[in-house]
Chains A and B, each alone.
Chain A
């Protein structure tokens, strides 16, 4: 899987928001890596810090948000130390991003073809007609029918699924080595979601890209990712090979996420396993496990010490004191 040198290694990354007086942490000490051709899923609910973690790689965080520690080593280069000029060269060329909500991620007053061609114009200094031709090829590759005429259309003339395909073709235009997709299927119809996921999986394999897939939907990610990591309140709480994590979650939060969706083997009408209360706020720093207040397995130690992300079997790691002493997370 990731036996080769990873293309991206994030170590001890922290992200904070706000100005110096009332600066609050929103991502705590996150470490992970991705190998070439690998798809990593980052799963979490809104506010878990999954998007901020990913956007801090090409450093395109919203204004007021910045990395506050750690390293992001991409292809042997620490991006946290890189100049803005250097990062601009990497963005769109080596690291591409596909955003959620394709309607708003596309400029409504520019033609789609021009927007797809833009990275080529910015990085490869191609002539307008060369870039347009290449953009058309890419639009065809992602399954946009009749790309020759559709390049002249505006985003509002595209359907939701087609817009997302256009965004993907735009991201791939310079053949990046790392693709970051932030909730690429949220808001799309189920059958279209499947198409888009299928497309991302196929293209990452075809071009041997590494990809980070961010989603709130554990199961949707599971169908395409080699590895997944689950985030809660700005921390990675569990990570490992997808099947292992889903079949045998070793963190109570992952378990809740997996069980929150009714499964086929569960008799209809029976109550679902849920965590009480609402997700913890990552800016609320306190001792111990951030899930403590909602967890039914909690021990005395959990309120005191922040659990470390330690192995629970092979590459499968979880940040839970209960799992680490070898206890099973039974329903209870």
Chain B
């Protein structure tokens, strides 16, 4: 098993190199030039300034050389300097990513906790009233444009009823907790710092629900269909013939088998959330990777764009690996094949 994990981890490396190459080619093949954006109109008219700018950021060298430099630095753990924030990209990512991780994790927890029970309930009596209601609601949730949902949620729950906190990660005026590495909620929870924890959570809950609305719809539907398929399997009839109660059949023989496709989907959905919920983070002023990537893209900040892309690819691969490792726990057929 350990060898299997190691092999899988090692196999991530070539994929990441491929990602850097593709992203490098794509981002540098645009005719756009960050010089004008960064120096302003007047300065970009001055060839000396432009040359100095190019030299500083290595833009004067041929593309293969630039890429070579990038790779060498990458191997040393250096993702380059962000043109826009004038800070190392790695530092930027370390600062913004934890906020996104916390938000995405909460959204994923919400979607799993809501959609699995909903899917199971809907499958008990398919095409019944409950099933219809659940299907309509979840369809609505996943088909609403996210910016609209975010604005409506903010309007209702924050401005009108005041039951949730407003944009941002914490209330204005409060000082960001120290030494958390950006994981405000997680660390304050472990420290028992309830004041900080509840403040962070009250800010996080609204964007998390908005984010989850999409994945709830998808996961509920898959859970429902998967459960319905499993409920028609012959082995459930066998269990019935043994004299088991419906409840026993449902929980012991149906649920775990039905969960398998849901695990894969949840993994993908979680990776999607981690990759940056740009709209949600913008509207809720959430200092996460989504907002950072929006800034980087508008400023043509190549090192930052490359950094975000690399991070997203890495997250996808790791989540996929996690799903693959989780699978054998549910399905013994996979366990034996992996050995």
Contact = CB atoms under 8 A, between A and B. Distances in A.
Q: Output the residue of B234, B248, B257, B336 with the most chain A CB within 10 A.
A: B234
B240 A104 contact: no
Given A104-B235, A105-B235, A156 B241 contact: no
B229 interface: no
| Interface size bracket, A side | 20 to 34
Interface string B300-319: 00000000000000000000
Nearest to A96: B241
Interface stretch (A12-20, A32-40, A106-114, A284-292): A106-114
Given A88-B244, A89-B243, A108-B257, A157 B336 contact: yes
A99 B242 contact: no
Contact of B244 (A97, A106, A122): A122
B238 A106 contact: yes
Interface residues of B, number: 21
Contacts of A60: 237, 240-241
A93 B241 CA distance: 9
A154 B332 CA distance: 7
B259 to A, nearest CB: 10
A170 B242 contact: yes
A177 to B, nearest CB: 14
Mostly, the B contact residues are helix
A92 B331 contact: no
A108 B333 contact: yes
A83 B241 CA distance: 15
Q: Output the residue of A58, A89, A108 with the most chain B CB within 10 A.
A: A108
Nearest to A97: B241
B242 A91 contact: yes
A148 B83 CA distance: 67
B160 interface: no
B241 A104 contact: no
Contacts of B153: none
A109 B259 CA distance: 12
A88 B243 contact: yes
Interface of A: 58, 60, 62, 88-93, 96-97, 99, 101, 104-111, 118-119, 122-123, 154, 156-157, 167, 170
15 contacts: A60-B240, A60-B241, A89-B243, A91-B241, A91-B242, A92-B243, A105-B237, A107-B235, A107-B253, A108-B257, A109-B331, A119-B242, A154-B333, A154-B336, A157-B336
